[in-house]
Structure 1
Amino acid sequence: MLYTLFDLLLVLFLAHLMDFIYPYHTGPLFLIHPVHTSYVMAVKLGKPFSSKAKGAIVWILVISAHILAYFFLIYFSSLIHRALLIVISAYILKTSFSLRLLFDIVGKTSVCLKNGDLECARFLVQQIVRRDVKKLQEQHLASAAIESLAESLVDGYISPLFLFIFLGPLGALFQRVANTLDSALGYKDPPFRDVGWFSARADTAVNYVPARLASLFIALASPAAGGSIGVAFKTIKKEHGRTESFNAGYPMSAMAGALGVRLEKIGCYTINNSARWPGWQDIVRALKVAKLAVFLWLAVSLGAILVIKSI
């Protein structure tokens, strides 16, 4: 099924409008959200201590089930009315990224830290990071929030739009489900090390280009926080390999350079070690950088869609 240029632009606009109006999914909409359904499937099928082969089969089954289900949803909606096709497609794209929720959590974290309420900040940060934050102090809470903001720009926005440009709503959905499978199974500890291996590698492959694009746009957006584009690029070049992840180090080092701060996950990595520790003010600055980076990427995405549809 082919979308016209107007269709794609309208889908993109409506998806962003939906994300702004309804960032939190609750009730029935939560139960049918592809992140929820794919996570539940992955956990039920990907039993702890399963083999790598089992993990690959689980990945294929979960991906296939979701792509087929939403393909038929798109197909049958197109038979009913073009307007329904647009709305359904926009909803699928909306479930593939989550900007307002991310910005809200990170923004509220800065308020909690400004007020000296570490428990409040820990509660919020725990929603967007895997690490245990119960004992983290202000500088590491601020670091975790900034790290997650930078990394989430990749899998929570730039990557789904990247695949949307070339493959439409189902491409964005594929990225979101692949990322969820990594979140559900891609752990390093023994129970999930083998069964989650394929999901982790697939997520790395899917986000490989978007992660590097994210670092580019974060660096270009660094003046929004009073930073230097040149310094941001130098930091990326020097620090991107500090993380174990092939992808995470790019957006995080770009944000560290843009803000001129040190980012650290205790016992795992330190980025921009010679810089100062971040505080709540730097979270506010990071949000400014992230919002400008989003705007720049959206502008490029629109341009790419125009070029592709004109060929």
Structure 2
Amino acid sequence: MICWLLPMNCMEFLLVLMIAITMDFIYPYHSGLMLIIHPVHTSYVMALKLHNHLPKTKTSGIIIWSIVVITHTLLYTLILYLSSFNRLLWILTSSYILKVSISLKLLIVHVRNVELGLKVGDISYARHYVSGIVRRDVSKLGEAHIASAAIESLFESLVDGLTSPLLYYTFLGPIGALIQRLVNSLDSALGYKTNEFINTGWFSAKVDTIINYLPSRITSLLTILLCSLVNGSIKRALTIYLRDRGNTESINAGVIFASVSGCLSVRLEKINTYCIGSEFNLPKPNDISKSLRLVLMIITSYIFLICILYTIYVIFFGDILVR
């Protein structure tokens, strides 16, 4: 029986979820011991240390991925199992595991600070905060491209840090959410196309693409359906989505960027790399505000959706959830 891996009913499912999100908002910044033991941190450090000691080959990349994901999964599965003998302890343990598997408050804080910097004309302030959420060099970006980078990262990180782990939480419990987060962490550590990482990071990048394929499309669909709430056009959002979703190298980023571009009527552009919504102007600070409102609506709708999915899950598979 693996029933202790999952919430036993819809109320427990929602309780764990709400506690995890509340914890994320209360304590988004990890430092000291909490940072040292955070699975995103430990998996990142472990991956880089293994990378430094192994040949720079694709086989090494598979080995690194397997060691990091399996060791972390086994450890947290054991912790969850040991907590299962007491319902309250299981709920708290599950909430912590889910909390470290999601990231929302920190993302919102960074994006709001970018918006603030642009609104008051402090471009250095805006660059500082946008550099914390994007990989690209932002040192020479103007205001419009900083705003574009912030909006792109907001929605891409929404998938990586919330909608994707919550989807796996729905069907695989808190350990499912953790595995998704580990996969994303390994992609962040190794998934670069530089000479140093192109081979060892190949497997991590591929798995990250696969595991986020469905969540990115669900998020994109919700973006299109909800865009009228921010004075957008569903028809226009769908048009840009169908036309421009293949403009990025990442098949997951493209679908979400295209839906956001059409919804907000803004051009999202990484200089010399891609352009989505070419007929629109680059975003302004007010478009960042609008994107944040849209994200909150998406989150609310998404939580409602996964609660429905879990209810259906319980109806059909409820017997295995009873401990």
Q: 2:320: which partner in 1?
A: none
Q: Deviations over 1:128-164 (max 9, x none)?
A: 0000101111000000000001111111111001111
For residue 299 of structure 1, the aligned residue among 304, 308, 316 is 304
**Residue 38, structure 1, aligned to residue 43, structure 2:** yes
Greater displacement, 138-147 / 15-24: 15-24
Q: 2:79: which partner in 1?
A: 73
Matches within 5 A, 1:67-146: 67-79=73-85, 81-146=86-151
Q: Secondary structure of the equivalent of 1:274?
A: coil
By how many angstroms is 1:221 displaced?
2.0
Q: Deviations over 1:91-145 (max 9, x none)?
A: 1111111111111111111111000001000000001000010111100000000
Q: Deviations over 1:49-92 (max 9, x none)?
A: 6100000010010000110010011011123x211111010111
CA–CA separation in structure 2 for the residues paired with 1:157 and 1:94: 10
Q: Structure 2 counterpart of 1:172, which letter?
A: A
Q: 1:173: which partner in 2?
A: 178
Q: Deviations over 1:224-264 (max 9, x none)?
A: 32111221111111110000011100111111111100011
Q: Is the 8 A contact 1:224 1:285 kept in 2?
A: no
- Where does structure 1 differ by over 3 angstroms across 4 or more consecutive aligned residues? none
Structure 1, unmatched stretches of 5+, are none
Q: How many residues align?
A: 310
Q: 2:265: which partner in 1?
A: 260
Q: Is the 8 A contact 1:219 1:232 kept in 2?
A: yes
> RMSD of the alignment, in Å?
1.1
Q: Is the 8 A contact 1:220 1:293 kept in 2?
A: no
Q: Deviations over 1:266-290 (max 9, x none)?
A: 1210111111111101000111111
Q: Secondary structure of the equivalent of 2:48?
A: helix
CA–CA separation in structure 1 for the residues paired with 2:13 and 2:158: 21
Q: Structure 2 counterpart of 1:68, which letter?
A: L
Q: Is the 8 A contact 1:42 1:62 kept in 2?
A: yes
Q: Structure 1 counterpart of 2:8, which letter?
A: T
Q: 2:226: which partner in 1?
A: 221
CA–CA separation in structure 2 for the residues paired with 1:112 and 1:4: 46
Q: 1:60: which partner in 2?
A: 66
CA–CA separation in structure 2 for the residues paired with 1:126 and 1:46: 25
CA–CA separation in structure 2 for the residues paired with 1:227 and 1:101: 27
CA–CA separation in structure 2 for the residues paired with 1:49 and 1:232: 45
Q: Structure 2 counterpart of 1:207, which letter?
A: N
CA–CA separation in structure 2 for the residues paired with 1:22 and 1:231: 38
Greater displacement, 52-61 / 210-219: 210-219
The two structures have a TM-score, normalised by structure 2, of: 0.94
Q: Structure 2 counterpart of 1:304, which letter?
A: L
CA–CA separation in structure 1 for the residues paired with 2:8 and 2:263: 38
Q: Secondary structure of the equivalent of 2:269?
A: strand
CA–CA separation in structure 2 for the residues paired with 1:294 and 1:13: 12
Q: Is the 8 A contact 1:109 1:121 kept in 2?
A: yes
Structure 2, unmatched stretches of 5+, are 317-323
Q: 2:206: which partner in 1?
A: 201
CA–CA separation in structure 2 for the residues paired with 1:307 and 1:186: 36
Q: Structure 1 counterpart of 2:143, which letter?
A: E
